[in-house]
Amino acid sequence: MINNKVFIAELAQRLGYNAKDTQKMVYSIVDAMADTFQEGNAVNVHNFCSFEVKKKMERIMVNPSTGQRMLVPPKLVLGFKISPKWKEQVKNGGTE
């Protein structure tokens, strides 16, 4: 797994920016995506993935240890779907 500092450094090197400017750019992108999710809209990153806000309906759940039935209120969840190209690449161990 790669941590934030290493990711920002690698991205900065690839883009030719310094790490501070690259970090601001990444945080701005993430903030813009968060704002879009708050509005209930989807974000599609072309040829990579899509994020979609989905509504889970109210449902009844049974506690397995007590058998008690409980009502779970409706909620919004964030869904992630990788593009078929990347899905296939990961499936093949990173090679196309």
The yes-or-no verdict on residue 10 having pLDDT over 90 is yes
Please report the pLDDT score of residue 95 as a whole number. 65
Please report the pLDDT score of residue 92 as a whole number. 86
Instruction: Give the residue-averaged pLDDT of 33-41.
Output: 93
CA pair distance 78, 52, nearest whole angstrom: 6
Condensed to tens digits (0 to 9), the pLDDT of residues 49-60 reads 999 999 999 999
Residues above pLDDT 70, as percent of the chain: 97
What HEC string does the chain produce?
Answer: CCCHHHHHHHHHHHHCCCHHHHHHHHHHHHHHHHHHHHCCCCEEECCCEEEEEEEECCEEEECCCCCCEEEECCEEEEEEEECHHHHHHHHCCCCC
Task: pLDDT band for 93, please (50, 70, 90 cuts).
Answer: confident
Per the DSSP assignment, residues forming a β-bridge with 53 are 78
Per CATH, the homologous superfamily of domain 40-96 is IHF-like DNA-binding proteins (4.10.520.10)
Segments making up each domain of the chain, as ranges = 1-38, 40-96
Q: How many residues does the chain have?
A: 96
